[in-house]
Amino acid sequence: MNPKVMVLYGEGLNCDKETEHALRVSGADTEKVNIRQMIENPGMLKDYQILAFVGGFLHGDALGAGRYMGATIRKKMPEEIQRFIESDKLVIGICNGFQVLAHAGILPGFDGDYTKNGGVTLTYNDIGRFRDQWFNLNAEGKKCIWTEGIDSLYLPIRHAEGKFVPGEGVLEKLYEQDLVVFKYAPGENPNGSVDDIAGICDPTGRVLGIMPHPEAYNHRTNHPRWTREELPEEGEGLKIFRNAVRYFD
């Protein structure tokens, strides 16, 4: 039986179709749900095995990317989120979705608590503007279910607020608990993220937050040099989603 995925959309999020496609190609059954519908009826989470917070321009980034929505989720449905993760289910947050996970307290999820701020944030790029560009990522650690068997990826970023900043003492805890999942390759940090961090997971390895867009590289024709290089038919980004589906086999 294929895992069922709730793919969130609405409020300015606009990567739902790409994310849904990547998950379907990887073998999941998907259903798009407006993020407000989930907040107003959080009990519906019990019918899904994977929850996907997609990227886009949540609230046009006018309220601070992910800050308002993260705070709303933390206030309105903390018990349901806690129960969902404790039920051996998976969560992914991509770009804006990563920002929501951080501001909701779902990441990093220290001590198994997904209801309070864990001391990480994503803020304005050092260059002070939006960037849409491809970068190399190196995989870190061995804990994350979503990144099993992945050593490196080449993915695009699309953000103005992607700089990862941990609070005092948090960086050390992330490394101690093996929660750093992806780093930008040396010399390629596009936003000034502390220690080049591009993605983290929670202590269970089932919750992933990543700033670059794996769903945007689902086929070789997505690659910026696809007419000049010999590339596999399947884009590298699908490795992440296939790992998630495989977890439920």
* pLDDT value of residue 216: 98
Please report the pLDDT score of residue 237 as a whole number: 98
pLDDT value, residue 65? 67
Through-space distance between the first and last CA atoms of the chain, rounded to whole angstroms = 8
From 11, 20, 215, 236, active-site residue: 215
Q: What pLDDT score does 67 carry? A: 85
pLDDT given for residue 56 in this prediction = 84
- Give the pLDDT score at 60: 64
215 assigned to active site: yes
Between the alpha carbon of residue 22 and those of residues 51, 95, 240, the distances in Å are 14, 16, 10
**Would you give the DSSP letter of residue 68?**
H
Please, are residues 247 and 90 in contact by the beta-carbon 8 Å criterion? yes
Query: For the chain, what's the residue count?
Result: 249
Q: Given this model, what pLDDT does residue 11 score?
A: 85
Catalytic-role residue among 103, 159, 213, 223: 213
Distance between CA atoms of 13 and 31, rounded to whole angstroms?
A: 15
The stretches in the chain having pLDDT less than 70 are 59-65
The pLDDT of residue 230 is 96
Catalytic residue selected from 11, 80, 95, 159: 95
**Residues 6 or more apart in contact with residue 71 via CB below 8 angstroms:** 103, 104
Spatial contact of 115 and 82, defined as CB atoms under 8 Å apart? yes
Task: Confirm whether 213 is a catalytic residue.
Answer: yes
Q: What is the pLDDT of residue 179?
A: 98
Write the CA distances from 87 to 46, 147, 152, integer angstroms: 9, 20, 30
Domain 4-247, CATH: 3.40.50.880
Complete DSSP assignment for 183-197: EEPTT--SS--GGGE
